[in-house]
Structure 1
Amino acid sequence: MPKPKASTTEVPESIYLNRELSQLAFNRRVLAQAEDKTIPLLERLRYLCIVSSNLDEFFEVRIASLLAHNRMQGALTEPPALAAAMERTGHECHAIIERQYNLLNNEILPQLAEAGIYLLRHTERNEEQRAWVKEYFDREVRPLLTPIGLDPAHPFPQVVNKSLNFIVELSGKDAFGRGTGIAILKAPRVLPRVIRLPDHLSKKGAASFCLLSSVIHAHIADLFTGREVVAYSQFRVTRNSDLWVDEEEVKNLRQALQSELHSRQFGFAVRLEVARNCPGHLADFLLDQFSIPRSRLYAVDGPVNMVRLLELINGVRQPSLHFPPFHPGNLPRLADGDIFSALRQQDVLLHHPFQSFQPVVEFIRTAALDPSVVAIKQTIYRTGMNSDLMESLIAAAHRGKEVTVIVELMARFDEEANINWAEKLERAGAQVVYGVVGLKTHAKLALVLRREGNELRRFAHLGTGNYHPTTTKHYTDFGLLTAHPALTAEVNEVFIHLTSLTKPKKLQHLWLAPFDLQKEIIRAIRNEAEIAKQGKPARIIAKMNALLDESVIRALYAASADGVKIDLIVRGACALRPGVPGLSDNIRVRSIIGRFLEHSRIYYFRNNLAHDVYLASADWMNRNLFRRVEVAFPVLDKTLKKQVIAQGLNPYLKDNLNAWELAADGKYHRRKPRGKQHAFCAQQYLAQLLGTPELRH
């Protein structure tokens, strides 16, 4: 580690930024999109929902993991360091959530009402609307409700993770003459959370909605005949959602996970959300039931689950309130021709979502139908409940082809979908392997073996993103279709390694985690440092979701001190402090938050004008480098290499609309055009270059 040079600017006490606070800073940047008045109104609401979804996962996974580690140590209380971390993150979470609900209530909902979109509370509904809601409650809701009065025979019920519930305080006596004072009411999960009222109950051209929680609130007294409802509140509990299996004891990973999936709903509680007007003694009662400290109580002015407002967004068809439609571009030479013939001539690079993912789907579909194709191998991390690609693999197996699929069962929150696909593939006759227990298989690889004359020819797809029909339309990723003999041979070696569990051969092109990916990244960084020491230009540009691994950060600090110019495009959490004198003077960090989620991982090293470009499935995080099976692959074709730099890196370094720059103190500052500088949005530029020109900021 280089020693800091003397400077008037103090070097921070820690050379690393706090992971949790950096993750929350990312959510502040997403929240800023919701505050951006140039963005269509329902898209601003969508960003609010995304923040809520992100915070749910932050508590379910990150906060829960910190608390779980403390529990595993057998501690009965939080040690000072953990308590301090909980206090810092809690303060930040409270501030973000306060901004969320202020924005919802004071800007977005009033402006939606001006546009003829009404989200009506009980007090805002007119007599006809109230009558319809009453009839809806009696017909659709009440038959599914089961209030539980608490007494020794009716203990506090199990509350499912993130479900909508109500606590009700009652006066008087029950039917048996006892003074049971508290009841718990679960909202049925089968009912929609956002309900659209009939059009004739709204102004002409308008649309009126109400929340299920509002419907239940309005008629909660009807559920307790002969009792008076003194007070009530909606509430929601967030629980630890990490699945855990004993790697030494597990015999069948799929069966072990199937039994664990149910328990996810009832992990230990980490957060309690209640309505802002919830009486203090009811909130205290709930905190005690769930063993949650007051610091993790969130009293909100609105629905306790803002994510559910996505139902409203998807239920409104006013084009002016949404982003304009975006249609990805297609590569003409792949549109109608023989994909295998095209790949024999030249590699194909795809940049999603600006270019369609359909060629990848067609690659597998064509392979499934082609009589000359004898085998297909593919990794699956996230693919969703409905997937044409997975159906093609099943069809290939039915046709008697050798189909091998590495299904990652431990893909967080997609475990159930992956288990279902694994079962369907096995029934079709495919060979299904669940990766390596203890290491998530996160690499994105597909390999087709085709008999051509007297030889087997390999064709491969390598990508930075998932084989998922939805995310490919909303996440930026690169994919490479290739018939390069050496590259496809190494892809085959990775599959052999994953199925046989043998030590992989030394690969010349692919960087494979957990074996050599971290070492190769460090080597490439140090190589740039050696070049800089010789007085030659040295340059690193890297784009990823998160930068947290300390070994990589230390190497970047050392390279900066040696004179390497380093630009990092890190969408989410970043532990590296840029711009610290004597430590990271030559490092700049920026984050791009736009219409599409930036997901591609690109590593660029100038390397004496060799311009090494790698695309990867891996972020620079400890888990990716040491606890996952990941692949970084080179772009060997010089034209495609220039294309990655011109599309995947340079526009993002130029962006002055969606870019946020990180300062040494951990704060992000939004870039704005200066002076006569033209406004430039990387995503808009790429949409116009590769897809439809109608995408607007």
Structure 2
Amino acid sequence: MNAPAKNHPADMLADSTDPLRDNSLYFNREIGQLDFNFRVLAQAQDPQVPLLERLRYLCISCTNLDEFFEIRAGTLRHAQDLGLAAGADGLSPATVLARIHDRAAELVQAQYECWNNVLRPALGEAGVRVLHRDAWSEAQTAWLRGYFQDEIMPVLSPLGLDPAHPFPKILNKSLNIVVVLKGKDAFGREGHLAIVRAPRSLPRIIQIPEEVSGGKSDFVFLSAVLSAFVDELFPGMKVKGAYQFRVTRNSELLVDEEEVDNIALALRDELVGRGYLRAVRLEIAEQCPDDIVRTLLENFDLTENAVYRINGPVNLNRVIQVYDLVQRQDLKFPLFQQRVLPGIEAMFDKVAEGDVLLHHPFDAFTPVLELIRQAAEDPNVLAIKQTLYRTGKDSPIVEHLVQAARNGKDVTVVVELRARFDEEANLGLADRLQEAGVQVVYGVVGYKTHAKMLLIVRREGRKLRRYVHLGTGNYHSGTTRVYTDFGLITADPDIGADVHLIFQQLSGLAPLIKLKRLLQSPFTLHAGVLKRIDRETKHARAGKPARIIAKMNALNEPQVIRALYQASQAGVQIDLIVRGACTLRPGVPGVSDNIRVRSIVGRFLEHHRVYWFANDGAPDLFCSSADWLERNLLRRVEAAFPVVDTDLASRVCDEALTNYLADNVNAWQLAADGSYRRVVREENTAPHSAQAMLLAKICG
């Protein structure tokens, strides 16, 4: 078996004689990821979607944009500083950053137009009002003034800027008000500018009591309250203007794992300063004077192309609190009951009878929780091994693992500390598990452990039997209710042996291993995907039917893309269902005219990864934790697992592939020019929503 690849795939693009390496055949990943948020925003603009759900989509697009700047834009600026070369698309980091600004500005404008002109008025008509300052009644103004004096002002520390009070540190994505003052304070100091920082403890959305609002559901942004009463913080001075602003900082933690003795300690140190890393974006009130904007830019070491002038609250995503506070089921998606498989009170017996396939969120996560709980209590269970990437707060899985350790089981957990934005939670998780006697492993230096695996070793008579759960999504009870994912529970001996070897490799610095059923990054998954694409190519060249269908979150790995181009040229019919960024350019004559790319954006976040290869009548199907991205295929520990049971494999194919290719409600088609266009339902064709079909079929 080969060792993991050390060369970045882009390093192999120097061969200009290969026409499939032409830069024009590759879209830029960052732009593609940014464009995904236009498809999310389209859900907020769709009148067929319930009103509060439209609000939720708007907030998701805003939160996604925040994370995009924190990670992708921040990483690009770092790459620009280091003088790194362009990728497969041939665009330098500086060029991509310039395009990001223009495209992000379009998105921001569309978001605020949606909020100001569509959703806010529509919510008001539905009895859910998010009020402008000029719409406050006398009673509301009086109540808000009292709220400001009693609840807000005591925790504020306004800072006047002068030589003794330099510009303060501004926390990433925090709400701030820059105040223009005139007059002198008690010490005779001339007022000019002051900064008011809103502490994290303050709610960003304030609900006005119904008795004050006449029985209505009325809300106000904290930023509006701060601006309205900010003069009370500066008695004796005149407030000439108050302008909200927010700075976004690079949040990618850079820990040189080869140079640290303890990655947990190194991460703890890095997390302390994460909120004050390099600034990448400044959001400022639209009417803020230019000289103040220049002052802020100078302080944050930013240029004009990092400024976004905002017509509304700079933290628009915080209006998501209204979704939770308003109990109006008529304005939300209909409730549904997840299917709970029968027989889960005896999970080992159920799995011994045959493999169990779970399709979340339509199938409940309960069987997985029950499997771990029963393993923790079963005296015949000797060992439990599990990977944890994201678990969520108060995870029942963690409680079961702790109980298993207390009951004398040998429990080993691979905790990935570098799960982005969950680093602090995972450090706490690791501490909790270790205190309970669980053996905690932090994975492999240089390779995030992203595989979703659970292994239970149970004594049955004179033999030991392995029970395994493998999934495409995290062990997070919350996301299993809103993400589409597959989970497989099996006692297949070969799969169990493979998972056992991977755990040994992760925890014991084991040598290269040979797996029977699973494909594993960074060793065999990349090569395994290329091998299967090549096999379809050979079938097509031999005149045999050949087809590939793959579903994933993102695609950018150059070698895989070139292999798909070659397959298309040979006549292989290829359908890719890619939720987010796709750098492959479909529909190019003579290159990718047999490749179609679609994106589904609906009620649930599309998250499962499924690869299907026709294989001359003997279909080859894998589910996986890995997208076809460079990082997943070459720089992470990932697993792709076959669904061996033919009936279950057919179910995966029908529910996650054929079903989604038939979607004419929530589907978008990627064109050769890089644009996405909604799939238009043909005349006399019934509407087909893949997610709605699964809700009806599985949840009834």
- On the 8 A contact 1:250/1:256 being kept in 2, the answer is yes
Counterpart CA distance in 2 for 1:228 and 1:316 is 38
Structure 2 residue runs without a partner (length 5+): 1-14
Counterpart CA distance in 2 for 1:283 and 1:580 is 45
Counterpart CA distance in 1 for 2:189 and 2:23 is 61
Counterpart CA distance in 2 for 1:689 and 1:328 is 11
Counterpart CA distance in 1 for 2:608 and 2:70 is 25
C-alpha offsets along residues 538-577 of structure 1, whole Å, 9 cap, x if unaligned?
Answer: 0100000000000100000001101111000000000001
Q: 1:584–1:74: structure 2 CA closer, same or farther, 3 Å change rule?
A: closer
Counterpart CA distance in 2 for 1:653 and 1:74 is 38
- On the 8 A contact 1:3/1:582 being kept in 2, the answer is no
Q: How does 1:137-286 map to 2 (within 5 A)?
A: 137-204=148-215, 206-286=216-296
Paired AA for residue 664 in structure 1? A
% identical aligned pairs? 52
Counterpart CA distance in 2 for 1:92 and 1:163 is 24
- In the alignment, does 2:429 pair up with 1:418? no
Counterpart CA distance in 2 for 1:233 and 1:444 is 46
Counterpart CA distance in 2 for 1:80 and 1:493 is 41
Q: How does 1:420-435 map to 2 (within 5 A)?
A: 420-435=428-443
Give 1:674 deviation, angstroms.
1.2
1:14 aligns to what? Answer: 24
Q: 1:349–1:80: structure 2 CA closer, same or farther, 3 Å change rule?
A: closer
SS state of the match for residue 25, structure 2? coil
Paired AA for residue 467 in structure 1? Y
1:695 aligns to what? Answer: none
- In the alignment, does 2:339 pair up with 1:339? no
1:461 aligns to what? Answer: 469
Paired AA for residue 85 in structure 1? V
Give 1:203 deviation, angstroms.
3.3
Counterpart CA distance in 2 for 1:527 and 1:212 is 59
Give 1:3 deviation, angstroms.
7.6
- In the alignment, does 2:62 pair up with 1:52? yes
Query: Which of the numbers 134, 144, 159 marks the counterpart of 1:133?
Result: 144
2:676 aligns to what? Answer: 668
Q: How does 1:308-457 map to 2 (within 5 A)?
A: 308-334=318-344, 336=345, 338-457=346-465
Paired AA for residue 310 in structure 1? I
- In the alignment, does 2:662 pair up with 1:654? yes
Give 1:684 deviation, angstroms.
0.1
Q: 1:192–1:553: structure 2 CA closer, same or farther, 3 Å change rule?
A: same
- In the alignment, does 2:304 pair up with 1:294? yes
SS state of the match for residue 270, structure 1? strand
Query: Which of the numbers 606, 627, 640 marks the counterpart of 1:632?
Result: 640
Query: Which of the numbers 51, 66, 77 marks the counterpart of 1:41?
Result: 51
SS state of the match for residue 608, structure 1? helix
- On the 8 A contact 1:647/1:686 being kept in 2, the answer is yes
1:8 aligns to what? Answer: none
Q: 1:80–1:441: structure 2 CA closer, same or farther, 3 Å change rule?
A: closer
Structure 1 residue runs without a partner (length 5+): 6-10, 693-697
Give 1:342 deviation, angstroms.
1.1
TM-score, structure 2 normalization: 0.95
- On the 8 A contact 1:4/1:583 being kept in 2, the answer is no
Paired AA for residue 626 in structure 2? A
Give 1:80 deviation, angstroms.
9.4
Counterpart CA distance in 2 for 1:25 and 1:271 is 18
Paired AA for residue 478 in structure 1? F
1:487 aligns to what? Answer: 495
Give 1:4 deviation, angstroms.
7.3
2:105 aligns to what? Answer: 94
Q: 1:222–1:74: structure 2 CA closer, same or farther, 3 Å change rule?
A: farther
Q: 1:513–1:80: structure 2 CA closer, same or farther, 3 Å change rule?
A: closer
Greater CA deviation, 276-285 or 341-350?
276-285
SS state of the match for residue 272, structure 1? strand
Counterpart CA distance in 1 for 2:511 and 2:659 is 40
Paired AA for residue 425 in structure 1? L
C-alpha offsets along residues 305-327 of structure 1, whole Å, 9 cap, x if unaligned?
Answer: 11111111110001111111122
- On the 8 A contact 2:62/2:316 being kept in 1, the answer is yes
2:541 aligns to what? Answer: 533
State the aligned residue count: 681
Give 1:145 deviation, angstroms.
0.5
Counterpart CA distance in 2 for 1:325 and 1:250 is 49
Give 1:173 deviation, angstroms.
2.1
SS state of the match for residue 99, structure 1? helix
Give 1:175 deviation, angstroms.
2.3
Counterpart CA distance in 2 for 1:130 and 1:384 is 39
C-alpha offsets along residues 663-683 of structure 1, whole Å, 9 cap, x if unaligned?
Answer: 111011101211101110000
SS state of the match for residue 27, structure 1? helix
SS state of the match for residue 639, structure 1? helix
Q: How does 1:88-127 map to 2 (within 5 A)?
A: 88-127=99-138
Counterpart CA distance in 2 for 1:81 and 1:680 is 41
Paired AA for residue 164 in structure 1? L
C-alpha offsets along residues 197-227 of structure 1, whole Å, 9 cap, x if unaligned?
Answer: 11112233x2111111111111000100111
Greater CA deviation, 16-25 or 678-687?
16-25
Give 1:73 deviation, angstroms.
4.4
Counterpart CA distance in 2 for 1:145 and 1:610 is 67
Greater CA deviation, 50-59 or 321-330?
321-330
RMSD, matched Cα: 1.7
- On the 8 A contact 1:404/1:433 being kept in 2, the answer is yes
